[in-house]
Amino acid sequence: KEWCRAIPKIELHAHLNGCIRDSTLLELAKLLGEKGVIIFADVEHVIRKCGRSLTECFQLFDLFHILATDHETISRITKEVVEDFAAEEVVYLELRTTPKNNEAKGMTKRSYMKAVINGLRSVDTVDVSFINLNGKTESFCEPVQKSCTTCMEKKKIYVRLLLSIDRRETTAAAMETVCLALEMREFGVVGIDLSGNPVVGEWDTFLPALKYAKEQGLPVTLHCGEVSNKMEIQAMLNFSPDRIGHACFLDEDDWEKARLSQIPVEICLTSNLRTERLSSIHVHHFANLYNANHPLVLCTDDTGLFSTSLSNEYYLAAETFGLDKKDMLQLGANAIEFVFADSEVKKAIREIFRAFERRLA
């Protein structure tokens, strides 16, 4: 367990609102209860409940979105989520979130994202590098780093953002998200994700926006095969996404296709178990993919919702599938190749892994 915590790690599949600390959720719920917006007692047991079904998870997301609707709260949760991942020795985090319009709060997709960026800027316990300038990365503290001993002592985490399209959205709303992502590239936005309730919405609705992202050179990752939907899985694989998440319901011919194109798979063990997409962890597709050397990366999905951490996911994989310390470190390092950030960032993360290995020698 200690080893899984100590090794440098890369997180590529984490939803901002799914990673809110329980303590923060309870605090927000209490405040809204006092204001009479919600009934705290009704909400408290939902937040505290463990082992939620897939439907309950999406009900809880609706609750999260009621609790975290203003700009200030979005900034706060972004800050806390980054701090929590850094505390776990995550050295590169690709955080995804769905930009939201909320007229009542004067929120647009753009102002939502500004609040996220403000959250990244407000982290002061960790050195957060998120700005992307023409292939060069600039740490938030970098201008003063050489003379600033505080910065040099701080942990460093690279953060990049993926903008999610929610499956409830229209083609126009999806397109708006892609355009916003293109506009915000210099603020560390590196790609697009398609997520949201997998039984809602049609692939064809999102396809024009996803195609446009691809044409503009913006990488795309898709929640693929979370439920059994052969037609959609085939259409998604034909789209040739840059990565896929979950992939629980792929048939042998789908895997053949994924194998041929070597699409990296974001594996979320606890999430898949909690939402009962598998009868047991022992039948998880991780083992087949790992043994076949298929590109894969262990991820958390929603640390808050599923009460997990990236160290815990590594530990679970090691325990269940018999991986040793060296395998775990290698598994983490392999993920460098699948990140959406540019080659400069990849080089920097590679160096972090090498430095860790040198310290061991």
Site residues (vs ligand 5GP, CB under 6 A): 15-18, 61, 97-98, 164, 166, 195-196, 198, 223, 226, 271, 301-302
Q: How far apart are CA 14 and CA 124, in angstroms?
A: 21
Residue 57, sorted as left (phi over 0), alpha (psi -120 to 50) or beta, turns out to be: alpha
Please, what is the minimum distance in Å from the beta carbon of residue 98 to ligand 5GP? 3
Partnered with residue 297 across adjacent β-strands are: 266
Q: Is residue 268 a contact partner of residue 46, using CB atoms and an 8 Å limit?
A: no
Task: Return the closest-CA partner of residue 99 out of 36, 33, 17, 203.
Answer: 17
Choose between 137 and 270: whose C-beta lies nearer to ligand 5GP. 270
18 versus 191: smaller Cβ distance to ligand 5GP: 18
Provide the minimum distance between the beta carbon of 356 and ligand 5GP in the complex, in angstroms, as a whole number: 30
User: Which tokens in the block code for residue 23?
Assistant: 């303590």
Q: Do 165 and 193 meet the contact criterion of CB atoms below 8 Å apart?
A: yes
Q: Output the six-digit token pair for 320.
A: 């269940």
Nearest distance from residue 14's CB to ligand 5GP, in Å?
9
Distances in Å between the alpha carbon of 123 and those of 12, 46, 49, 330?
Answer: 20, 29, 29, 29
| Residue in the structure block whose two tokens are 């998200």 | 177
Q: Is the dihedral of CA 98, 242, 158, 271 positive or negative?
A: positive
Which of residues 7 and 77 has its CB atom nearest to ligand 5GP in the complex? 77
Least CB distance to ligand 5GP at residue 101 (A): 13
Please say if 138 is a catalytic residue. no
- Residue with token string 């043994």: 291
CB of 82 to ligand 5GP, least distance (A): 13
Min CB(189)–ligand 5GP separation in Å? 14
When the beta carbons of 132 and 303 are compared against ligand 5GP, the nearer one is 303
Cα 315 to the chain's mean position, in Å? 19
**One of 11, 226, 232, 266 is an active-site residue; which one?**
226
Closest CB to ligand 5GP among 80 and 301? 301
Q: Please state the φ and ψ torsions of residue 119, each to the nearest 5 degrees.
A: -60, -45
Instruction: Please identify, using beta-carbon distances, which residue of 195 and 311 lies nearer to ligand 5GP.
Output: 195
Residues annotated as part of the active site? 226
